[in-house]
Amino acid sequence: MQKSRLGQYNLIRRISTGGMGEIYLARREGPANFEKTVVIKRILPHLAREETFIKKFLDEARIVVNLTHSNIVPVFDMGEEDGEYYLAMEYVPGRDLRGILQQLHESGEERLPPPMALRIASETCKALGYAHRRTDDEGENLGIVHRDVSPSNAIVSKEGETKLIDFGVAQAAGRLSKTMSGRIQGKCAYMSPEQAEGA
């Protein structure tokens, strides 16, 4: 991909593509040689004009902007340019858990070392517990349920911290878009028992 620009961010390279959006490594530059590396998430071009996907994207922004926790990747900025919405998030040098597990499998290992597995699980649970308990300014619970806690959505930093990403299919109070009845959100293999039971 040739280097391009979105808002005040220079897009360096595309990192990944999902069902609804694409992720870029980007950099914001400012006076006195100021530079900040971030991750930009934007709606896939062929979906960027569809109201349903725009509402889901705006929902994700509204949910994540309320979450401030060391095990959740924060959103710094949300912007719009020529009708295209994007989020700027913290760049976490590291790998997602899916990539780590794949590398282990390719090297002949069957599983993560127990201390590492326990730390990842513990930090993921801390992030989810915080999101589930999060309230608004009036003390009302926001009702946030992630609904896609899969290895691709857990980033393990080079320092060994686990950070949860992608609240794009999260359930929460005050969403603009509503989940279609009978439609599965997230990945079946990682669905919670409550969701599987329709609770």
Annotated catalytic residues are 148
Q: Which of 162, 29, 42, 47 is nearest to 94 (CA)?
A: 162
Interacting residues of 152 by C-beta distance below 8 A, sequence separation 6+:
96, 97, 98, 166
Q: Which token pair is 144?
A: 């946030």
